[in-house]
Amino acid sequence: MLTLDLIEAVARAGSIRKAAEAMNLTSSALNRRLQAFEEEFGTPIFERLPQGVRPNAAGELILKHIRAQRADLTMVRTQVDDLMGIRRGHVAIACSQALTPFYLPDRIADFRARFPGVSFTVNVRDRVAAEEELTLYKADLAIVFEPANMADFEILCAVPQPVCAVMASDHPLATRPTLRLRDCLDEPHVVPSARFGVRHLLDLGLRRSSRKLRPVVEADSFEFMRRYVTHERAIGFEIPIGLTGAVAQGLTVRPLPASDVAPGHLLLGQLLGRTLPVAASRFAEELTVALRRLAVPTPAA
């Protein structure tokens, strides 16, 4: 077994003993392999702790190299397959909740109908965790609303999305053609937690106002909030891409004016400087085209 694989196994387990058991080696044999590598490399890569080990700064750089090397090998394999006319591979996506009810399943199903050899992993992540998955090579692509960091985020496509008020169709405000944020805050309201882009924009919109969010419920699930507004005649907040098809049945959706809450951006991106495998690159190209077709008007006032 390659020493680099052993290093990654030890970092993952946090213990030489546990890693050795998982890889059917003795602890002493694994420790000798690590020490030989550290001696050749010229510096220790693990801190030895009373309860195990953890990578030091040099070790983190080695792990980053291992993950990048593995990603590059996957890319080369898929490029070779592509040259042979074999469309296969795997695409890992970290995305906002809004994409999962309809939009992303539709796009993936359409892609796999043409390229059945390509498989997908889709993990729902908030805007911070999605970016982190890119840097750890756990995701090829991230689709997030209002990313928080963006230091290592290469934007492939940006789509404006207004914050919308969501309510039951028989809510007293549902018959109004336009709504202001202050109208919504006069009613019981449910809001996403602070780690979500929609909440970030709501907080920014109220920064210069005397009004405050006083939610009856705060949650990290938009599916839960959509369901809840049908019970208490409450107002929820979401972006349009997550409010299509059966998701919006029985609900009224009203975009809030930009003067109250600035629209945000749904971004499709990858790790800065990374060359994607063929399947992921092709899917990103098609998703970019599809996202650019989205046109959601935002009320000015």
Q: Which residues of the chain have pLDDT under 50?
A: 85-86, 300-301
CATH of the domain at 140: 3.40.190.10
Per the structure, the complete domain to which residue 274 belongs is given by: 87-158+265-292
CB 102 within 8 Å of CB 244: yes
Q: How confident is the model over 162-174, as pLDDT tens digits? A: 999 999 999 999 9
Quick one: 130 and 181 in the same domain? no
CATH of the domain at 188: 3.40.190.290
Quick one: 279 and 133 in the same domain? yes
Residues 224, 264, 154, 92: what is their CA dihedral angle, to the nearest 10 degrees? 20
Its sign, for the CA torsion 53, 57, 58, 64, is positive
C-alpha span between 269 and 153 (Å, rounded): 6
Quick one: 186 and 114 in the same domain? no
Quick one: 44 and 170 in the same domain? no
Quick one: 223 and 287 in the same domain? no
Quick one: 148 and 194 in the same domain? no
Quick one: 210 and 129 in the same domain? no
pLDDT at 225: 94
Quick one: 232 and 272 in the same domain? no
pLDDT at 120: 96
Please state at what angle helix 103-114 crosses helix 278-292, rounded to 10 degrees.
130
Q: What is the pTM of this model?
A: 0.70
What φ, ψ does residue 196 adopt, rounded to 5°?
-105, 145
Number of domains in the chain: 3
Mean pLDDT of the chain: 87
CATH of the domain at 10: 1.10.10.10
CB 149 within 8 Å of CB 269: no
Quick one: 258 and 275 in the same domain? no
- Residue 298: what residue type? T
Q: How confident is the model over 227-237, as pLDDT tens digits? A: 999 888 899 99
Quick one: 171 and 251 in the same domain? yes
